[in-house]
Amino acid sequence: MSQSFTKLWIHVIWATKNRKDLIDFSIEKTLYDYIWQELTALGCPVRIINGMPDHVHVLFLQNPQKTITDIVKQIKGSSSHFMNRGEFILEKFAWQTGFGAFSVSESQLNAVYNYIKNQKQHHLKKNGQDEFDDFVKLHGLGDK
């Protein structure tokens, strides 16, 4: 084959430092728009971003020239800098060190999109840490 093709959908979840409720409804759109623009600039087209006051979900196409770790590190660093520089909240804005990244098959794209879109309703039943733990378990990661 003389050409290379990739189409890797990635669902990434990361939390605020100590899972503090730092993403208030009043700044949510500003933060998500910034993350969307940064990912687009990195060559990672975004399908959807949504979350809760203590974490964010992003569904995007991975740029094959970049690792997921490099992409997420860049986005988390630049977005926390943006939030602190803009003084959108009274305290220091920061993300936790880790993240979860999960591949999404084309056949599951709409289901994952809707899952992310409906975060507010979903979290009426389950908190962010329990949700993340379920993802880790579902994908066979973490403690066995």
Condensed to tens digits (0 to 9), the pLDDT of residues 84-143 reads 999 888 899 999 999 999 999 999 999 999 999 998 776 666 666 777 777 667 667 666
**What is the predicted pLDDT for the residue at 144?**
45
Contact at 8 Å (CB) between 47 and 117?
A: no
- The pLDDT of residue 22 is 95
Phi-psi region of 131 (alpha: psi -120 to 50; beta: other; left: phi over 0): alpha
Residue 127 is predicted with a pLDDT of: 67
The model's pTM = 0.86
Q: What is the pLDDT of residue 122?
A: 63
CA distance linking residue 108 with residue 59, whole number of Å? 12
Q: Which residue has the tokens 């733990």?
A: 133
Q: Are 62 and 71 in contact (CB under 8 A)?
A: yes
Q: What's the pLDDT at 88?
A: 87
Mean pLDDT along residues 19-39 = 96
The pLDDT value recorded for residue 135 is: 62
| Residue of 29 and 144 predicted with greater confidence | 29
Token readout for 128 is: 């962010």
Tell me the average pLDDT of the chain.
90
The pLDDT of residue 123: 61
Within a 10 A sphere around the Cβ of 113, how many other Cβ atoms?
17
Q: Which two tokens stand for residue 20?
A: 């503090």
